[in-house]
Structure 1
Amino acid sequence: MSFRTTPSVDYVEDVSPGSGALPPRAWYASSDARSLSLNGSWRFRLSATAGAEDDSFAEEGYDAGNWAEVTVPGHWVLQGDGAFGSPIYTNHLYPFPVDPPYVPTENPTGDHLRVFDLPSDWPSDGGAVLRFDGVESCARVWLNGTELGEFKGSRLAHEFAVGELLKPGSNVLAVRVHQWSAGSYLEDQDQWWLPGIFRDVTLLHRPSGGAGDFFVHASYDHTAGEGTLCVDSDVDGRVTVPALDIDVATGEPVTVAVRPWTAETPKLYDGVLVTDGERVPLRIGFRTVVLEDGLIKVNGKAVLFKGVNRHEWHPEHGRALDLETMREDVLLMKRHNLNAVRTSHYPPHPAFLDLCDEYGLWVIDECDLETHGFTEQDWRDNPVDDDRWTPALLDRAARMVERDKNHPSIVFWSLGNEAGTGRGLTAMAEWIHGRDPERLVHYEGDWNCRDTDVYSRMYAFHDEVEKIGQGLDGGTRKRRELPFIQCEYAHAMGNGPGGLADYQELFEKYERLQGAFVWEWIDHGVRHAELGYAYGGDFGEELHDGNFVCDGLVFPDRTPSPGLIEFKKVVEPVRIEGDGPNGIVHVTNKQDFADLSALAFEWSCQVDGETVESGSLAVPVLAPGESAEVKLPEPPVDGRGGERQWTVRALLADDTSWAAKGHVVAWGQFAVGARPLPSFPATDRPVPDGGRITLGPAGFDARTGALLSIGGVEVGATPRLDVWRAPTDNDDGAEWQTDTRYGTLWRTLGLHRMRHRLISVEAGDDALTVHTRVAPAAREVGLDTVYRWTSDGERLRLTVSVTPQGDWTVPLPRLGVRFGLAEADRVEWFGGGPGEAYPDTGKASMVGRWQSTVDGLQTPYVRPQENGARADVRWVELGGLRIEGDPEFWFTARRWTTEQLDAARHRTDLAAGDTVWVNLDHGQHGIGSQSCGPGPLPQYFLKAEPAEFSFVFSTTR
């Protein structure tokens, strides 16, 4: 009888951070020391449990020829076409029983093998280290059959000394990766659970006398204009900075005149750390971060963060990002006026921080820590308040700080996210404050600010934020004396976020409010052959949180969403306001450090949305905070009547590292005079002819009053009152906000199933009048609706009068008419554009003449919902019709009905029909950000109250 002993896997459930790894150190590239990337194709074997296979695969000579292959960096569940398991998405619930530190026996375990040849010219002196930049969630490592150790801390670098184990020629690297471990309890971070070796694996030569760890201290004295440089190094050497004529020993401070580093002016000086065995390039940014006068100050000035939270994400590769994808993120941020990023909820790939240094972004670097799932048991057994876990917490803090400490872009260390409070967090804060007193410490969950240098909150409503700005928020004395930021706000899920401009007004009004970070940067959709982009539940997860993982300012393919376009406008660094009739422009520099010398200004004058003249505008080089009034030229002489307006733009005067000359940084529009409203005398009368009534160019059904055609344009469905929209993620709201989830309230009231009762059709002397009542089944509320049609023989006017009946306790989703056209493709309009806008998301909507296709009007939210409305529309042409509004209106046009849009779960559920459905809306309810934050502010409610609005129809054929 024989049996096999199950290998020991006790380390998987050990609360310690691991064993065998070297102490953390700064991440850097060497000018001299060799490196060998071990990225690429690895042999791979997946087991269902941690101890299913013995360790023989790590031995030299093991035959893995029948194993599968995976790409490293990568996640095995995103490879193999489903053969290696599937992603799991949860917001905060652990996808395994909460029994710390234990994890299920069913623990997917991936054995990875990489056979590599050591280059023949690999140096024989010194040593070598093997570096893993990221492995989820627990890894055990062997080289040439010798075990190196094991580690946890998925988004953190771990290095092992391997110099004595390397051999000339072929070498075998073996890595066993477990999806679940004790470390998983510390990584409950509102993202996909994705096991694998997802960051680089690198072999690094460490020459004799080479640099070890070093800390670049580069402060700036704003009163003297001088910087002080001191590089502390484990290995003695010299530091040179040619541009500053610096050549000093390590550990020796030197003070010289410098240009400081800021996110607006990211000046970096190239230097070199030289030891006996190595030269290490340095990129040095001089800046000083302090807490002073109750404010976060950099280089003596309070800063206003206009930031975003950034998870690492790629729709095909998950958290395995290449350099160009990271660069694309940074360039998009800069081009959309963002100045800050919080690395939610873990340190990013270090190359991303290099890019933040280079292009200029303030950074909150966040530790790889979140224990959010313990909230389900009122934080009982929370690891951050359990001394047994403190070494793991301190290890994570140290690995973040030591790896990233030489980046000038980092102004805050964050202890983590949504981990409650406890002794472990205090220990982390104390260690960080001691190790790096030149930066501040952040943690949102510490509302009493025991361990932090800033009062930080998530999703505080506008009224509370204003009270905080006024110092009326209560709390401890220490908290009241600290600056305030919202580390998460404006939840960018689906259509939205709304209310950005209202928040920004508060941030700029109260000094204590130092800005905020939108949640979040990118939709975490997984590219899917059948669904387009998949989200939670699409892989059969036992627990999941649906499309809550798709809450970004850019879509999964990094196309900017309307939310990002809106954010760019709201936080633009130059305010441009004007007095149109008097031709005055008021320009304010809203930057903290930079003047306006990098910008050029231009004006243009539009008549009915078409530019008739343009030119440059001389604006003084304003210092930060300064304003000036500038006179526009005399309005151009133009024989046409119509609506006139000025548009003034601030553009990049020259190419920069992040955008080309002419890139629009900010803009403002202001009217010269009032818009002339469409009007005509009602000269034609309705003419009955059997079952049809003719009125001017239009034909109607004599029995129902339904519009059948205008000129030669057939109307597939008559215009009739419509109040329903496919609820947005923000309409549906967060599950914990039960009293104001308007999507649910609207459905409960029955607004998605309104019925239309015809009361009368009356052909009068000068009008066709159709009287109806629109109401939901089972309810007493309704909308008394009268459609009055008139004509001058060529044009047709519809006036809609709406009177609410009953006790309306909720706002309406929309108020307007919907009709169908048998044929429409090209669309042209005069109004807001080019993208969508709603009452509280319309700052970026620029009035002009715009063109699109019907398909181009759609906004491709990962979960379909109300989208694509163009605001402030004067007229629109489509399908052979021209429609003018009195007053301005919103319009949408789709190849599917609102009901079909509402029923769709993915974009691929929407199939184009034979009818183009057009909505002409007098009103829309606001958007808000109630998918996790506040709903629309009261001023953006669409109340059920009497209303009257008109549309004028004519043909363009």
Structure 2
Amino acid sequence: MKLKNLLFLTILFLFSTGIFSQPTEIVYLSGSDAANTVEWDFFCTDGKNSGEWTKIPVPSNWELQGFGTYNYGHDWRNEEIKLGKEHGLYKHEFETPASWKGKTINIVFDGSMTDTEVKINGKLAGEIHQGAFYRFKYDISKLLNYGKTNLLEVDVAKHSSNESVNRAERQADFWIFGGIFRPVFLEVLPETHMTRTAIDPKADGSFKAFVTLNESKADYTFDVELFDLGGNKVSGNVQAEISKGETENWISGKFENVKEWNVEWPQLYDMKISLKKGNDVLHQVTERIGFRTVELREHDGIYVNGEKVIFKGVCRHSFRPETGRALSDSDHFEDITLMKEMNMNAVRCSHYDPDKRFLDLCDSLGMLVLDEVTGWQDSYDTIIGPKLIKEEILKDENHASVVLWDHGNEGGWDFANEKTYQELDIQKRPVIYPWLLRNGVDTHHYPEFLYAVNRFTHGNAPFMPTEFMHGLYDGGHGAGLNDFWNEYETSPLLAGAFLWVFADEAVLRTDKEGTVYDSDGNHAPDGILGPHQEKEGSFYTIKDIWSPVQISPVTINKQWNGKLFLSNKYIYTNLNKCTYSWKAIKTGFGDTANKVLGQGQAKSPNAEPGETAAVQIDCSNALQNADLFEFTATDYNGNELYTWSWPVVQPEEKAAEILQELEFGNSEISVNESSDAVTVSVSGLEISLSKNDGTLLSVENSNGDVSFTGGPIPVGADSEITGTKWEKDGSGNFIFTVSRKDYPRKITWTLEKSGLLKLEASHLIGWMKDIDYIGISFNYPEEKCTGIKWMGGGPYRVWKNRLKGATLGVWEKEYNNTITGESFNNLVYPEFKGYHGNLYWATLETTESPITIISETPKLYMQLFTPDKPQHVAGGTYPAFPDADISFLYEIPGIGTKFQRAEIMGPNGQKGVYGERRGDENDAIKLWFDFRSN
């Protein structure tokens, strides 16, 4: 065969097989994300560093690059605050190959704040775009100089000339930035091409697609192929025809043996749609899709693939302190990973359309997405609104993760604009209104616990508050969630909830001296995480409550039968897909490390979603000398769902063991009296007690003073002293007794000849209510405390309504003065100060001598100093504390949210009530103190 003929046949084969196909070519003019930027020329018209041409990275928000004026969305209400209404002027040169001539070239902006005018080589690309968070594009084919350099000029106005845009976006409860904050790129398309490929893939493998063309000069065919993510073609293909002159068409078909997409098993495919003229492939578009079916069933719930979905979600702003709303791929990945670590399965994109790359990751990692058009509490008008909704749909319509549209937020809607969703979204996803009962879903925000009169648990519509448990500082989020969730799960209409909000939004102020992170008072420190994704205590509470594996309440002791009952809270997954492991642990004390006495795997139970099954653990031998039992559930991807722990021994058992180790020495105790004190000494330890009330006046060991004094003082109850006395018992130990009229009726100090000091405060008596806290307290200078090691719930502090997530174990942390939601320059977690639960023992590390305290009292709380009060407390976010440094308490308060007191947020947030009958054998507070210099 002649070479010429061979070459011709080869070229013909390549065209016919699609190897010479023409996909859309993407050419970035900016960087691809905030971590990969390109410098453009830049001029800021007002504010910091304005009035001269310089450089700026694109994408970025110009405030974070040192330009313009910082504003929070509420600033418009304050006449004393300057509103930055600067423009940012951009210039950038780029080359276009001569080979592009005859093709369609679109310039695409993924996000620009807010009114954006675009010129190419001095000529307008089209009308000014209004709206900050949306993808828009211009056909600039006729404006380009092919084979030459082209000049792009962009004028970005921070505030819009359209007042509805300003009300919806610029006067909102979030930071207001300016700039081209998402990528800018060119779409290079063949002369005849597809302009839209909207796909509706169903769970059974069927699909329909709506395809539009830019022009129609002949008869064409569409060829639809499906590939798994390994590039393997799924058998079968679908073809359709479109006649000359027609520019839109529907395609439908079905692929067999495809796997459905769901939030737990997010199976994706690439659907390739080829536009062909005869055997020539004119254009190819590949869309990554998931086959799934979304339904809203009236008076029932939201279903995906025939299964009712419970959204365990969070509201998320696109935000980082140093880059504002300009994010990197790794930022998106980190956010989703942290959500999934909390056992969340859903995210609400508040309060604007998200970056496409975020949705790509939600598709592939498995998250249910509420995709939102902006409108904080005011709406776009009926001219701009439909345009922006259209842009939202065209960008996001093929994402499997997007299952619901949010039409604005809290009044930020014009109902007339909803028809745009109905007209354009071929999947006909439900449209909801955050804070309304509308379109069949009740999304009321921030309900009180008893909010159920014809709504929510007592209503007749699926319910899911799209903002819930409003965080502020350390309040909200996990605090109260268990009460709400237990109540909500009693209703078949539960559709889920979305916590407000994912992370604190403290922005780095480049306009201030030093490193200043600003959350605009209490407007933006609402997160479960800090601004750099630091984990607050509620992170672990949510992880516990929303774990898809739940364990029925159980007491584990040395006689335990080894049986746990596991409830399956998944939507699609059998518990036999997960793995389960256990450990029996002997806890260390002092410098002794924990020791694992036994460990193993539990057989995975066969339990479908909604079922409960037992697992049997053969650990009886290991438990005989253990203090703790741990059980870990791990999902099918190897990620920990949660690790639970239970005490095997009671505090008095552990105390007896520790005391046996500590009771060394047997010296005689000397007693000296002064006018107001009794001083007792033994083996280099000297303790002075007040004759009047038995409180510690001073402690001194061979190293010097130990400043642990001023107690025991009853806190939470008034109690009059009726008498004091002291003596040595028959063994030579010193006994000091205080009698009181009310709680505690009797306090007894016992100094043993070993040098150990015991305190017993008799149990609660009588009847009490409205208890914030009750117990006994002491003083110790905070500045002398350097750290703590303890056995109890940890490592984070607890509140009465946020006990879950604090795991029983041996923990250690250094002193810090973190104010959650405020100490942004030095957020050290876990916070040092606050209430700690289920105390067994604790050793305070100090600049003097270590102080060891051992409890024999079950479920005793310890107050470890009082957290500093944030500057802008609101709602119930600063609970009561005893006026003391170190306290030992039967009861502690709950914490509320930004808007609500703890008492109205569920039973565990209510103040305590106590009642006693004569003859009750309630627990006294029994503590041992080791002040000796070891």
Match of 2:772 in 1: 811
In the alignment, the residues of structure 2 paired with residue 884 and residue 155 of structure 1 have an alpha-carbon distance, to the nearest angstrom, of: 57
CA contact (8 A) 1:138 1:179 kept: yes
In the TM superposition, what whole-angstrom CA distance separates every residue of 1:228-284 from its partner, at most 9, and x where no partner exists?
022221136322114422322353322223211111110101222223433322212
Give 1:86 deviation, angstroms.
Answer: 2.1
CA distance 1:665–1:106, change in 2 (3 Å)? closer
SS of the residue 1:407 aligns to? coil
In the alignment, the residues of structure 2 paired with residue 903 and residue 762 of structure 1 have an alpha-carbon distance, to the nearest angstrom, of: 44
Aligned length, in residue pairs = 808
**What is the 5 A alignment of 1:911-930?**
918-930=886-898
Match of 2:680 in 1: 694
Match of 2:451 in 1: 464
The answer to whether the aligner puts 1:351 opposite 2:321 as a matched pair is no
In the alignment, the residues of structure 2 paired with residue 345 and residue 844 of structure 1 have an alpha-carbon distance, to the nearest angstrom, of: 29
The answer to whether the aligner puts 1:116 opposite 2:82 as a matched pair is no
CA distance 1:695–1:842, change in 2 (3 Å)? farther
The answer to whether the aligner puts 1:937 opposite 2:900 as a matched pair is no
In the alignment, the residues of structure 2 paired with residue 340 and residue 718 of structure 1 have an alpha-carbon distance, to the nearest angstrom, of: 51
In the alignment, the residues of structure 2 paired with residue 830 and residue 415 of structure 1 have an alpha-carbon distance, to the nearest angstrom, of: 49
In the alignment, the residues of structure 2 paired with residue 822 and residue 180 of structure 1 have an alpha-carbon distance, to the nearest angstrom, of: 49
CA contact (8 A) 1:576 1:666 kept: no
The two structures have a TM-score, normalised by structure 1, of 0.76
SS of the residue 1:557 aligns to? coil
Among 502, 506, 511, the alignment partner of 2:492 is 511
CA contact (8 A) 1:89 1:549 kept: no
CA distance 1:845–1:111, change in 2 (3 Å)? closer
The answer to whether the aligner puts 1:882 opposite 2:852 as a matched pair is yes
**Amino acid paired to 2:750:** T
| Identical pairs, percent | 22
Match of 1:360 in 2: 366
Match of 2:291 in 1: 286
**What is the 5 A alignment of 1:236-275?**
237-242=222-227, 243-249=233-239, 251-255=250-254, 256-275=256-275
Match of 1:590 in 2: 569
Deviates more, 1:398-407 or 1:877-886: 877-886
The answer to whether the aligner puts 1:136 opposite 2:136 as a matched pair is no
CA distance 1:722–1:44, change in 2 (3 Å)? farther
In the alignment, the residues of structure 2 paired with residue 304 and residue 42 of structure 1 have an alpha-carbon distance, to the nearest angstrom, of: 46
**What is the 5 A alignment of 1:264-663?**
264-275=264-275, 276-292=281-297, 294-372=300-378, 389-419=381-411, 424-429=414-419, 431-432=421-422, 435-436=425-426, 438-447=428-437, 449=438, 452-465=439-452, 468-471=455-458, 473=459, 480=460, 482-497=461-476, 498-527=479-508, 534-537=517-520, 546-577=521-552, 578=554, 580=556, 581-608=560-587, 610=594, 611-636=596-621, 640=625, 644-652=627-635, 656=637, 661=638, 663=639
In the alignment, the residues of structure 2 paired with residue 904 and residue 925 of structure 1 have an alpha-carbon distance, to the nearest angstrom, of: 21
CA contact (8 A) 2:198 2:426 kept: no
**What is the 5 A alignment of 1:78-93?**
78-80=64-66, 84-90=68-74
Give 1:354 deviation, angstroms.
Answer: 0.6
In the alignment, the residues of structure 1 paired with residue 140 and residue 697 of structure 2 have an alpha-carbon distance, to the nearest angstrom, of: 81
In the alignment, the residues of structure 2 paired with residue 138 and residue 930 of structure 1 have an alpha-carbon distance, to the nearest angstrom, of: 34
In the alignment, the residues of structure 1 paired with residue 901 and residue 313 of structure 2 have an alpha-carbon distance, to the nearest angstrom, of: 17
In the alignment, the residues of structure 2 paired with residue 756 and residue 48 of structure 1 have an alpha-carbon distance, to the nearest angstrom, of: 65
Give 1:688 deviation, angstroms.
Answer: 2.0
In the TM superposition, what whole-angstrom CA distance separates every residue of 1:746-773 from its partner, at most 9, and x where no partner exists?
xxxxx9xx99999987545553356899
CA contact (8 A) 1:707 1:715 kept: no
In the alignment, the residues of structure 1 paired with residue 225 and residue 815 of structure 2 have an alpha-carbon distance, to the nearest angstrom, of: 61
CA contact (8 A) 2:854 2:928 kept: yes
Among 192, 204, 208, the alignment partner of 2:191 is 208
SS of the residue 1:257 aligns to? coil
RMSD (Å), alpha carbons: 3.9
Among 147, 156, 164, the alignment partner of 2:142 is 164
In the alignment, the residues of structure 2 paired with residue 717 and residue 122 of structure 1 have an alpha-carbon distance, to the nearest angstrom, of: 83
CA contact (8 A) 2:584 2:627 kept: yes
Give 1:818 deviation, angstroms.
Answer: 3.8
In the alignment, the residues of structure 1 paired with residue 776 and residue 191 of structure 2 have an alpha-carbon distance, to the nearest angstrom, of: 76
CA distance 1:353–1:920, change in 2 (3 Å)? same
CA contact (8 A) 2:861 2:888 kept: yes
Match of 2:230 in 1: none
In the alignment, the residues of structure 1 paired with residue 782 and residue 181 of structure 2 have an alpha-carbon distance, to the nearest angstrom, of: 51
CA contact (8 A) 2:739 2:747 kept: yes
Question: Mind listing any 5+ residue stretches in structure 2 that lack a counterpart?
Answer: 1-20, 32-37, 214-220, 228-232, 241-249, 276-280, 589-593, 729-733, 874-883, 916-922
In the TM superposition, what whole-angstrom CA distance separates every residue of 1:73-92 from its partner, at most 9, and x where no partner exists?
22222222xx52223253xx
CA distance 1:212–1:618, change in 2 (3 Å)? same
SS of the residue 2:687 aligns to? strand
SS of the residue 1:926 aligns to? coil
CA contact (8 A) 1:33 1:278 kept: no
Q: Which of these two proteins has the greater Rg computed from alpha carbons?
A: 2
The answer to whether the aligner puts 1:184 opposite 2:169 as a matched pair is no
In the TM superposition, what whole-angstrom CA distance separates every residue of 1:288-342 from its partner, at most 9, and x where no partner exists?
1112262211111111110010111001111111111111111111222110001
CA distance 1:708–1:415, change in 2 (3 Å)? same
Give 1:359 deviation, angstroms.
Answer: 0.4
In the TM superposition, what whole-angstrom CA distance separates every residue of 1:840-886 from its partner, at most 9, and x where no partner exists?
11211111222332349986754799955432121112332221124
CA distance 1:154–1:771, change in 2 (3 Å)? farther
CA contact (8 A) 1:130 1:201 kept: yes
CA distance 1:263–1:527, change in 2 (3 Å)? same
In the alignment, the residues of structure 2 paired with residue 825 and residue 919 of structure 1 have an alpha-carbon distance, to the nearest angstrom, of: 18
In the alignment, the residues of structure 2 paired with residue 30 and residue 371 of structure 1 have an alpha-carbon distance, to the nearest angstrom, of: 45
Give 1:286 deviation, angstroms.
Answer: 0.6
CA contact (8 A) 1:821 1:918 kept: no
**Amino acid paired to 2:843:** E
The answer to whether the aligner puts 1:716 opposite 2:673 as a matched pair is no
Give 1:30 deviation, angstroms.
Answer: 9.0
In the TM superposition, what whole-angstrom CA distance separates every residue of 1:427-458 from its partner, at most 9, and x where no partner exists?
325643664453111102433x2xx2311111
In the alignment, the residues of structure 2 paired with residue 230 and residue 636 of structure 1 have an alpha-carbon distance, to the nearest angstrom, of: 61
In the TM superposition, what whole-angstrom CA distance separates every residue of 1:408-442 from its partner, at most 9, and x where no partner exists?
11110110101266xx3243256436644531111
CA contact (8 A) 1:496 1:841 kept: no
CA contact (8 A) 2:551 2:567 kept: yes
In the TM superposition, what whole-angstrom CA distance separates every residue of 1:777-824 from its partner, at most 9, and x where no partner exists?
xxxxx9989754222223112334698999986735997444237755
CA contact (8 A) 1:138 1:150 kept: yes
Give 1:644 deviation, angstroms.
Answer: 3.9
SS of the residue 1:325 aligns to? helix
In the TM superposition, what whole-angstrom CA distance separates every residue of 1:446-475 from its partner, at most 9, and x where no partner exists?
33x2xx23111111122225964543x4xx
CA contact (8 A) 2:470 2:897 kept: yes
In the alignment, the residues of structure 2 paired with residue 106 and residue 527 of structure 1 have an alpha-carbon distance, to the nearest angstrom, of: 18
CA contact (8 A) 1:857 1:868 kept: no
CA contact (8 A) 1:315 1:527 kept: yes
Give 1:109 deviation, angstroms.
Answer: 2.1
SS of the residue 2:129 aligns to? strand
CA contact (8 A) 1:499 1:929 kept: no
CA distance 1:712–1:616, change in 2 (3 Å)? farther
Match of 1:791 in 2: 751
Among 624, 644, 648, the alignment partner of 1:668 is 644
CA distance 1:32–1:470, change in 2 (3 Å)? closer
Match of 1:378 in 2: none
CA contact (8 A) 1:393 1:428 kept: no
In the alignment, the residues of structure 1 paired with residue 149 and residue 328 of structure 2 have an alpha-carbon distance, to the nearest angstrom, of: 27
